[in-house]
Amino acid sequence: MSRMVSFEPGAPMEEGGIPLCVPEIRGKEWEYIKHCLDTNFVSSVGPFVDRFERDTANYVGTKFGVATSTGTAALHIALLVAGVQPDQEVLVSTLTFIAPVNAIRYAGAMPVFIDAEPAYWQMDPQKMRDFVEKGCSWKNGELHNRHTHRRVRAIMPVHILGHPVDMDPILVIARKYNLVVIEDATESLGANYKGTMTGHIGDIACFSFNGNKIITTGGGGMIVTDNESWARKAKYLTTQAKDDPFEFEHDEIGYNYRLTNLQAALGCAQLEQLDDYIAAKRRIAGVYTDAFKNMTGLNPMQEADFAFSIHWLYTILVDPARFGMDSRALMNRLLLRNIQARPLWQPAHLSKAHRGAYATDCSVAERLNREAVSLPCSVGLSTTEQGRVINCIVENGKSV
């Protein structure tokens, strides 16, 4: 593969540069933050925290929402309240940003990596089922990995890039083998699967409001669930597990994973604009897909019949033999024109940090990692900016 010019995601861009995916602040953000400052509710309790939890849960359709300091913290706590214990295993997509895998390790558990399917690049339900039915044994209501002998306790599908995982076959296996389903919906707020919002398909789910997500609180996360005792436990664990808040008594080890009222104020204002943002993301994706439809060796991410994608991060695959250059060479061309582009994540089964974890055959994820290029797709991307990105790609490729 070609070598990359230096590239640091999130680094300030030169004048006239087109960033990959930046926040859009155009609603009541200032007004709500001013309210926090005027009322002195700047820290980790306050009316915007309660409202943001309620509004997010309502949007997704769950009964409860628990705000957290980050999406990673949300995943950590979701694993704990769902009962994942040290030395158990969690089936997780290998093609993902590393956070869900790290969260599994924070809980003392181990990941089992499941490959991506080639059509929509999400967790492959067929490979997941094959692992469970051929690679595990089922005895006394417990599933055990035949290779590691650890108990498999949960499945964590990650809805990457704003597109849902094909969840029905995953739920069938989960119900049959008594596995909890924890959705990492951090990249897919507003997407739906057969009409059900991501985040309300499994037993518990997590969102992130990091700066590059579809809505942002600067940094933040949310756990959503219909399970009241899990929601209560999540609130308890994220707020230092206070059993007697007056006497400061604690029966369990808790965490300071709270979202501040200031951040939640930002979140409330952003949530009010989410549907407009999704419409913008879908329009941007449509323009790219149309522009690339006659190009040889360029395959844009597809939307499945079962899906409503929010197209969080617009991504294409570059087939080097047919396009005439590989993904890294194309990214270099874009970066040299001051246009941010980036690859997808190293598949997690290849991460040295998670050496020793069991993985199914993950060859699809490895190919996707070699071929994928994510393109600028901020909600506020202008037609002129998008035209510059398209021109750069079209000039470097061939039409059919």
Rounded to the nearest 5 percent, the helix, strand and coil shares of the chain are 40, 20, 45
CB closer to ligand PLP, 101 vs 143: 101
Candidates 70-78, 82-90, 174-182, 376-384 — which segment interacts with ligand PLP by CB under 6 A? 70-78
Rounded Cα–Cα distance for residues 103 and 78 (Å): 9
**C-beta of residue 66 within 8 angstroms of C-beta of residue 234:** yes
Least Å distance, CB 209 to ligand PLP, is: 7
Q: Are strands 142-145 and 64-68 parallel, antiparallel or unpaired?
A: unpaired
Q: Which of 96, 260, 270, 369 binds ligand PLP (CB under 6 A)?
A: 96
Q: What is the rounded end-to-end Cα distance, in angstroms, of the chain?
A: 24
Candidates 37-45, 57-65, 67-75, 77-85 — which segment interacts with ligand PLP by CB under 6 A? 67-75
How far is CA 17 from each of CA 249, 274, 329, 362, rounded to the nearest angstrom? 53, 25, 19, 35
Closest residue to bound ligand PLP by CB: 71
CB closer to ligand PLP, 271 vs 295: 271
72 binds ligand PLP (CB under 6 A): yes
CB closer to ligand PLP, 100 vs 300: 100
210 binds ligand PLP (CB under 6 A): yes
99 binds ligand PLP (CB under 6 A): yes
| Number of neighbouring beta carbons within 10 Å of residue 127 | 19
378 binds ligand PLP (CB under 6 A): no
Specify the DSSP class assigned to residue 228: H
Rounded Cα–Cα distance for residues 253 and 163 (Å): 35
Rounded Cα–Cα distance for residues 131 and 153 (Å): 14
Q: Classify residue 14 by burial, with Cβ atoms within 10 Å: 0-12, 13-18, 19+.
A: exposed
CB closer to ligand PLP, 192 vs 386: 192
Task: Give residues with Cβ within 8 angstroms of 304, minimum separation 6.
Answer: 119, 120, 163, 164, 166
71 binds ligand PLP (CB under 6 A): yes
String of contacts with ligand PLP for each residue 250-269, x by CB under 6 A: --------------------
Candidates 68-76, 108-116, 168-176, 233-241 — which segment interacts with ligand PLP by CB under 6 A? 68-76
DSSP states of 275-327 as a string? HHHHHHHHHHHHHHHHHTTTBTTEEEPP--TTEE---SS-EEEE-HHHHSS-H
Least Å distance, CB 344 to ligand PLP, is: 11
User: Where in 157-196 is the site for ligand PLP (CB under 6 A)?
Assistant: 158, 184, 186-187
CB closer to ligand PLP, 261 vs 263: 263
Candidates 94-102, 222-230, 331-339, 357-365 — which segment interacts with ligand PLP by CB under 6 A? 94-102
CB closer to ligand PLP, 210 vs 273: 210
Strand partners, 123: 116
Q: Which of 208, 216, 217, 309 binds ligand PLP (CB under 6 A)?
A: 208
Q: Torsions phi, psi of 182, nearest 5? A: -110, 110
70 binds ligand PLP (CB under 6 A): yes
Residue numbers at the binding site for ligand PLP (CB under 6 A): 70-72, 96-97, 99-100, 158, 184, 186-187, 208, 210, 221
